[in-house]
Amino acid sequence: MRVVGIGGSSDGKHEIFIFTTHLQPNDSTTESAGGFRSSDRLLIVLSCRLVGSEVRSAGPGAGLNLVSFECQMKTSTDCSSGPDASLPPSLWPAAAPVTVLERLCRLLSSPLLSSAVEPVPFDVVVENLLLQTKPLTFSTHVESRGILLGGLKRLRASNAGFTFQFSDDENYGPYLLSVNDVSSSEVDRTYWELLVQTLGGEPTRPAVGIGCYIPTAGERIILRFTKW
């Protein structure tokens, strides 16, 4: 599920709107039993109250302001149904009676919001300048605003022809150690260089590494084995 909106009120309570295109309560079970079936669109409204706030002093997330909420489900609705269930909510007749939840369904079904959460496809190209082997090209994707490391992990899990290992430096974050069993070496002064190539452009080195870089659709992510 993904949170798509939050509203506030003077009494300190908030309403959080959660929208999904993959889950809907199963007709044969109750929501409390956790019965869900795929397909359709479900909108859930939670009523939440702020119950605490603290600044983490040490460990992961040190310095962050952490807040706690108590929430309970206020209502839910199936966005696949409406004044005319044969039409998507964005095309419901304007003259039909519309509830607040139906208006939210229409908003959540707008092409602008739908396109913003589509997976972002890109290619990963593995090059070895030292051995002069033929480059290998793989396709993968990240979720909207997802980081490159997640896309590489997804590719490794789905394609046996691509493997990689990385280390996580406490100062500079994740960086590549090896790709397809070819490892970097301080002795040989070799490493895996990260490059990005947009359509029609030249490969460039991004300002961040695999743990922070956010791919865009159609990019070529080049992993190049070379010397420094």
Which amino acid, residue 188? D
Whether the pLDDT of residue 36 is over 50: the answer is: no
Give the pLDDT of residue 180.
Answer: 97
- Of 71-85, 116-130, 214-228, the one with minimum mean pLDDT is 71-85
Q: What is the mean pLDDT of residues 83-101?
A: 53
- pLDDT above 70 as % of the chain: 53
Query: How many beta carbons lie within 10 A of that of residue 154, not counting itself?
Result: 16
Report all structural domains of the chain as residue ranges with CATH numbers, in order of start.
2-116 (no CATH), 120-227 (2.170.130.30)
Structure token pair of residue 133:
């082997």
Residues 109 and 42: beta-carbon distance below 8 Å: no
Interatomic CA distance for residues 109 and 101, integer angstroms = 12
Structure token pair of residue 56:
């983490």
Residues 45 and 17: beta-carbon distance below 8 Å: yes
Q: Residue 1: which pLDDT band, with cuts at 50, 70 and 90? A: very low
- Of 8-22, 51-65, 70-84, the one with minimum mean pLDDT is 8-22
157-170 pLDDT, tens digit each: 999 999 999 999 98
Q: Residue 118: which pLDDT band, with cuts at 50, 70 and 90? A: confident
DSSP string for residues in the chain: -EEEEEEE-TTSEEEEEEEESS-EE-TTS-GGGT-EESSS-EEEEEEEEEEEEEE--SSTTTT-EEEEEEEEEEEEEETT-STTTTS-GGGS-TTS---HHHHHHHHHTSHHHHHHTS-EEEEEEEEETTTTPPPEEEEEEE-TT--HHHHHHHHHHH-TT--EEEEEETTTEEEEEEETTEE-BTTTTEEEEEEEE-TTS--B--SS-TTT----TT-EEEEEEEE-
Q: Based on the number of CB atoms within 10 Å of its own CB, is 57 exposed (0-12), middle (13-18) or buried (19 or more)? A: exposed
Interatomic CA distance for residues 79 and 24, integer angstroms = 10
